[in-house]
């Protein structure tokens, strides 16, 4: 198929065929990861800059491995805090990167719309959104789709139950779009104070009780609870959260033996997920990590016009 997405900013503009195409490409990259020598020359001579304004070891390392396995030249440009705090504006950073000849820029930024902004400012480089504020995290969603697809096959008419802090989660926003486009039904659960106002605008439904929500679920997807949400008064205590909304064995039993458990990491054991669930046989958490590298390889390869060998 002819690839039309120039940047990867969010999945809202993607069609189901495009998602499928990337899943299939990811599958071939996944096989590559089993080989003794993982490196291929697909992106030799291409310069990829990882521009990280927020600390994120997992996403950065995953991108970096993907870039290196494809033989791209990699520069890690880390900057802490906002572009204002750093003294240089994101616009100037963007133009600097382009002047240096970056073919692609992976950006992780705390501000919503930072990737869109960068894409508006860059004339030639391809922008990959590595997460912008609570807005979007498309590569996480794609790796989640791949993980689920690989494990349970077609995602059509599957039920995904997402539990936790949807309000502040870019993972949730992108995953809801991704799973919905694949034909799945997404049910959200968690405290009402951590739900966005117009759940239906996301194409999802809300069930405040996780015990009823998980019935018949094909996937239980747990979202990370940040401690600061308790300090902000959005729920009374982590302990209460775990007791009511945490994923433990009894919740998993209500769902079923074939239900898979996913989490974007890093995991807060004893808060959103009990250790025996995180490490149990239904958990896909480590599979997600591996999928992340393969997916990012596929995405870089397709968007940078790499040559199939």
Partner 1 sequence: MKILFRNGLLFDGRTLSGGKTDVLAEDGVISRIGTGLDDNGANEIYDLSDLIISPGFIDLHCHLRDPGQEWREDLLSGSRAGAAGGFSTLVCMPNTDPPVDNAALIRYLLEKGEECDGSRVVPAGCLSRERAGNNLAEMGKMAIAGAVLFTDDGSPVSNTNLLRLALQYSSRLGVRIMEHPEDRSLTLGAQVNDGICSTISGLKGWPSSAEASDIFRGASLSMDTGVPIHFTHVSTKESMNAMRISKASGCTVTCDVTPHHLCLVENMVISGGYDGVFKVNPPLRSVQDVDALWEGIRDGTVDAIATDHAPYHMDEKDLPFQESAFGIASLECAVAAILHEWKRRKDLCTLEKLLSLFTSGPASLLPEKWRTLGVIAEGSPADLTVIDPDFERVVDVSKWESKARSTPWNGRTLKGWPVMTVVRGKVAYKMPDHLSRVK
Site residues, partner 1 (CB under 8 A): 82-84, 89-91, 109-114, 116-117, 119-120, 133-136, 168-170, 173, 196-199, 201-202
Q: How far is the CB of 19 from partner 1 (least distance, A)?
A: 19
Q: Which is nearer to partner 1, 159 or 168 (CB)?
A: 168
Q: How far is the CB of 132 from partner 1 (least distance, A)?
A: 8
Q: How far is the CB of 55 from partner 1 (least distance, A)?
A: 18
Could you tell me which residues come within 8 angstroms of residue 85 by beta carbon, excluding any fewer than 6 positions away?
Answer: none
Q: How far is the CB of 146 from partner 1 (least distance, A)?
A: 23
Q: Which is nearer to partner 1, 196 or 270 (CB)?
A: 196
**Spatial separation of the C-alpha atoms in residues 165 and 15, rounded to whole Å:** 27
> Which residues pair with residue 206 across a beta bridge?
188
Q: How far is the CB of 170 from partner 1 (least distance, A)?
A: 6
Q: Which is nearer to partner 1, 122 or 277 (CB)?
A: 122
Q: Which is nearer to partner 1, 169 or 184 (CB)?
A: 169
Could you tell me which residues come within 8 angstroms of residue 251 by beta carbon, excluding any fewer than 6 positions away?
Answer: 210, 211, 214, 220, 277
Q: Which is nearer to partner 1, 7 or 46 (CB)?
A: 7
What's CA 63's distance to the chain center, in Å? 12
**Spatial separation of the C-alpha atoms in residues 81 and 66, rounded to whole Å:** 26
Residue 85 main-chain phi, psi, to 5 deg: -60, -30
Q: How far is the CB of 97 from partner 1 (least distance, A)?
A: 15
Omega into 266 within 30° of 0, i.e. cis? yes
**Spatial separation of the C-alpha atoms in residues 109 and 45, rounded to whole Å:** 27
Q: How far is the CB of 113 from partner 1 (least distance, A)?
A: 3
Q: Which is nearer to partner 1, 37 or 201 (CB)?
A: 201
**Spatial separation of the C-alpha atoms in residues 295 and 172, rounded to whole Å:** 18
Q: Which is nearer to partner 1, 6 or 120 (CB)?
A: 120
Q: How far is the CB of 4 from partner 1 (least distance, A)?
A: 17
Q: Which is nearer to partner 1, 173 or 242 (CB)?
A: 173
């Amino acid at each position: 198929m002819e690839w039309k997405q120039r940047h990867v900013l969010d999945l809202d503009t993607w069609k189901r065929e495009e998602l499928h195409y990337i899943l299939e490409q990811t599958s071939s990259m996944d096989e590559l990861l089993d080989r003794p020598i993982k490196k291929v020359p697909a992106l030799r001579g291409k310069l990829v800059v990882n521009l990280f304004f927020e600390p994120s070891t997992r996403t950065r390392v995953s991108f970096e491995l993907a870039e290196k396995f494809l033989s791209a030249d990699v520069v890690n440009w880390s900057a802490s805090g906002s572009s204002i705090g750093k003294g240089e504006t994101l616009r100037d950073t963007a133009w600097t990167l382009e002047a240096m000849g970056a073919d692609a820029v992976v950006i992780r930024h705390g501000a919503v719309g930072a990737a869109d902004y960068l894409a508006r400012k860059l004339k030639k480089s391809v922008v990959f959104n590595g997460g912008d504020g609570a807005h979007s995290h498309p590569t996480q969603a794609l790796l989640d789709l791949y993980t689920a697809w690989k494990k349970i096959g077609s995602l059509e008419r599957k039920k995904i139950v997402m539990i936790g802090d949807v309000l502040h989660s870019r993972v949730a926003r992108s995953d809801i779009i991704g799973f919905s486009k694949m034909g799945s039904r997404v049910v959200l659960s968690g405290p009402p104070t951590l739900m966005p106002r117009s759940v239906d605008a996301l194409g999802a439904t809300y069930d405040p009780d996780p015990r009823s929500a998980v019935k018949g679920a094909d996937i239980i997807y747990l979202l990370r609870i940040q401690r600061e949400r308790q300090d902000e008064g959005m729920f009374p205590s982590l302990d209460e959260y775990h007791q009511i909304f945490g994923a433990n064995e009894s919740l998993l039993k209500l769902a079923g033996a074939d239900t898979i458990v996913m989490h974007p990491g890093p995991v807060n054991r004893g808060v959103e997920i009990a250790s025996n669930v995180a490490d149990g046989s239904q958990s896909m958490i480590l599979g997600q990590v591996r999928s992340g590298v393969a997916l990012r390889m596929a995405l870089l390869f397709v968007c940078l016009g790499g040559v199939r060998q």
